[in-house]
Amino acid sequence: MKEKLNTAMERVTLKQLRALDAVVRTGTITQAARELSVTPPAVSMQMRLLAETIGLPVVERTESGLRPTDAGRIVLDGVRRCESALAACGEALEEMKGAGGGRVVVGVVSTAKYFAPRALAAFAHAHPKIEMRLSVGNRGETIEALRSYELDFAVMGRPPDGFGVESAVIGDHPHIIVAPPDHPMARRRNIAFADLAGETFLLREDGSGTRALMQRLFDEAGLNPNLGMEIGSNETIKQAVIAGLGIAMISAHTVYAELQDGRLTELDVAGLPVMRQWFTVKLEKKRLLPAARAFWDFLVTSGTKYLPTAGAQ
């Protein structure tokens, strides 16, 4: 069976693989056809040929659109590895021509979007021939894109575990607790962590690094926080705190503007801010070609210049 499957995969074409990737990403044949600049029947034909070649269905129809089967997910992993290898090959050839160009695909967790675009803009200005692509997602999405070879590297607050990665520190990443300016504790100094146990904390989604940090601090203090709404974005959390719905532990880099203009205040809590770091992270086995390596080195050596100044009291 293994020999037959290997023989079948040798007959699979790149056109078929790209059709599968487009269908899964867009969820429909029509959208995939538009992205690939072909007709829907052409995409359907490539999908049919792919399924017939490997002898297994690669997609299934669900209420939310076409989704990969188990076999489809295995093929998709191969597709993305192939695309990564082809991109690496193309960039290496361009470098050999002395073009000084190439492409960099960087994923950033949503919290990093408050500084990563500024760093990217500075690098792009210095390297106008390099094509830059920035992909913003939550931690889970960014890790999955990293694992599936969709990214050259990622910028995040804590390197993932469970698979081999290489990482380097960009700079400090402080976490603070914010409240509305009229909060009763706004003018207090050196607030004991235990005094916050009765406050309502607004939360990021389960799996968020900030949420895990907050929970760890309460666990270490032996306290059970009063948990309020679970909110999927830093922007919404900021607005909810401003509206008086609770307080929140959050990256100081995400609230720099609100602290400056007085819409939020940082509570002066003993032991805070908690200082973490920003990292560049890549798959251990992934070879960074010159353009990606140049941006990686730029972030590691100069990235701190683009971090917002934390509003620590």
Q: What is the mean pLDDT of the chain?
A: 89
Mean pLDDT of 123-138: 91
Domain spanning 173-275 has what CATH number? 3.40.190.10
**CATH 3.40.190.10 fits domain 79-171+277-306:** yes
Quick one: pLDDT at residue 6? 56
The DSSP string of 187-222 is T-SSB-GGGGTTSEEEEPPTT-HHHHHHHHHHHHHT
Looking at the chain, list the stretches that DSSP marks H as alpha helix, in order from N- to C-terminal side. 2-11, 14-26, 29-36, 40-54, 70-96, 116-126, 139-147, 209-221, 234-242, 256-260, 290-302
Is the pLDDT reported for residue 309 higher than 80? no
Distance CA 267, CA 191 (A): 8
Q: Which two tokens stand for residue 170?
A: 């960009």
The model's confidence at residue 95, banded by pLDDT at 50, 70 and 90, is low
CB-count burial class (<10 Å; 0-12, 13-18, 19+) for 262? exposed
pLDDT, tens digit, for every residue of 1-17? 444 445 667 788 889 99
Is 136 in contact with 276 (CB distance < 8 Å)? no
User: 60 has which bridge partners?
Assistant: 67
pLDDT, tens digit, for every residue of 259-269? 999 999 999 99
Which of 104, 107, 106 shows the shortest CA–CA distance to 87? 104
Distance CA 304, CA 83 (A): 32
Ordered by start, the domain boundaries in the chain are 2-76, 79-171+277-306, 173-275
Fold: same for 79-171+277-306 and 173-275 = yes
pLDDT, tens digit, for every residue of 207-258? 777 888 888 888 888 888 888 888 888 899 999 999 999 999 999 999 999 9
Percent of the chain residues topping a pLDDT of 70:
94
Domain covering 2-76: architecture: Orthogonal Bundle (1.10)
The model's confidence at residue 64, banded by pLDDT at 50, 70 and 90, is confident
Output 226 or 150, whichever has higher pLDDT: 150
